[in-house]
Amino acid sequence: GGPLGFRPPGFPLPRPRPDDGTPPPPRPRRPAFATLSDGATTWRVGVMGHERASIVLGVDLASFQAENDHYRNLFLITCPLALLLLAGGGWWLATRALRPVQVITEKAARINARGLDERIPAVRSDRELGRLVEVMNDMLQRLERSFRQAARFSADAAHELKTPLTILQGQLEQSLQEAPDGSTEQQTYGELLAEVQRLRSIVRKLLLLARADAGQMHRGLETVDLSERARQLVEDTRELAPHLDVRADVAPGVRVRADPDLLHQILQNLASNAVKFNHGDPGAIEIDLRLAGGLARLGMANTGQPLTPEEQARLFERFYRGDPARSRRIDGVGLGLSLAREIALSHGGDLRVDTARPGWVRFTLVLPAEIPG
């Protein structure tokens, strides 16, 4: 029943007009999605379409959830393993790269003033580290040369001064005997003789220190009853300073392997130091000896002014005398403690200072004890 129309190819059809009775096209709806579950199965549902028709699609999420669980478990297993492998590989590479640096550090840490003839082994695998080793070895060579020259000068100077001072002391002793009693000449000769004796003591200490620096301190080791020496030290200290309260706690039967003359030098230096720097009111000195852990520990403590951290750090330096205002009133040149520690070190021991007790300064001589077999 209606009219027929002809459209040539490529000619568009005319759009229907609202007034010609043709219904308008349906309007599409926005797609909607939801997750639904019946208790046993979980579905992902999607709805799409338009006003006249809709399509509902549902997918069972069980397979997707299983696949997600598989990949999650795989990630939780492989990720820590991968991190562990990366960390282990990084540590191995870093250790291998830093191994030459560790070797250089350990070797340099073992080199001391008595081992300046040692050298750091060359590193051929790394050009920069090899250059660093060359520079450090050159520096050690220069230090060794300087130390040897200083030690040789000290030893030569002390040796050359030893004979003239001995002759001078003999002449002064003779002049002192020939001078009239109570005369000015006798007093002058006595003062000069005391100064010469002081110079001889300094020269002897310098000579011992020079030998210690060169590793040539001669030690005639023999078994020494340190308990007997400590008791004698107590008596000597009481005679040297009768105004001080000298207390003693000496364990019996403590023996060490030591040079008797050098050991006597240490004990005399400690006693002299305890008397000279005793500022207590009233002053006191404590001497104790005990055996612990295969070591003989002889302590010499005296009442005195507290040491500053700087003084305690530099106490064993040569020619160091602490506070200038205090040291001007006390005889000495600052070699006694340095020499005493060098002698202790040459015997495999040490000399330490402790100021933990308020109002006291304590020196402890530590020597390997001879255990009766």
CA distance 80 to 6: 75
Question: Letter for the amino acid at 68?
Answer: N
Cα-Cα end-to-end distance for the chain: 139
Pairing of strands 255-258, 28-37: unpaired
Task: Tell me what pLDDT residue 15 has.
Answer: 58
| H helix intervals, the chain | 62-110, 127-178, 184-213, 226-240, 260-276, 309-313, 324-327, 336-346
Task: Tell me what pLDDT residue 232 has.
Answer: 93
Q: Does domain 222-368 have CATH number 3.40.50.450?
A: no
Predicted confidence pLDDT, tens digits, the chain (373 residues):
445 455 555 555 555 555 556 667 777 778 888 888 877 788 888 888 877 788 888 888 888 888 888 899 999 999 999 999 999 999 998 888 788 888 888 888 887 766 777 888 877 767 777 888 888 888 888 888 877 777 677 667 777 777 788 888 888 888 888 888 888 888 898 889 888 888 887 787 777 777 777 666 667 889 999 999 999 999 999 998 899 999 999 999 999 999 898 899 899 999 988 998 888 778 899 999 999 989 999 999 999 888 888 888 888 887 777 655 454 455 656 788 888 898 899 889 999 998 888 889 999 999 999 877 6
Task: Tell me what pLDDT residue 373 has.
Answer: 60
Task: Tell me what pLDDT residue 10 has.
Answer: 58
- Domain 127-213 shares a fold with domain 222-368: no
What are the domain boundaries of the chain? 127-213, 222-368
Instruction: Compute the C-alpha angle 310/314/318, nearest 5°.
Output: 150
Least Cα distance to 319 among 305, 302, 338, 304 occurs for: 338
Contact predicate 131/100, CB 8 Å = no
Contact predicate 241/204, CB 8 Å = no
Task: Tell me what pLDDT residue 299 has.
Answer: 95
CA distance 233 to 263: 11
DSSP secondary structure letters along 157-224: HHHHHHHHHHHHHHHHHHHHHHSPTT-HHHHHHHHHHHHHHHHHHHHHHHHHHHHHHTT------EEE
Task: Tell me what pLDDT residue 66 has.
Answer: 84
Other residues' Cβ atoms within 10 Å of the Cβ of residue 42: 15
Task: Tell me what pLDDT residue 313 has.
Answer: 84
Query: What does the DSSP 8-state code read for residue 154?
Result: H
Query: How buried is 275 (Cβ within 10 angstroms: 0-12 exposed, 13-18 middle, 19+ buried)?
Result: middle
CA distance 60 to 42: 6
Fold for 127-213, please state it. Helix Hairpins (1.10.287)
Q: What are phi and psi of 122, to 5 degrees?
A: -70, 150
Encoded tokens for 165: 């001072």
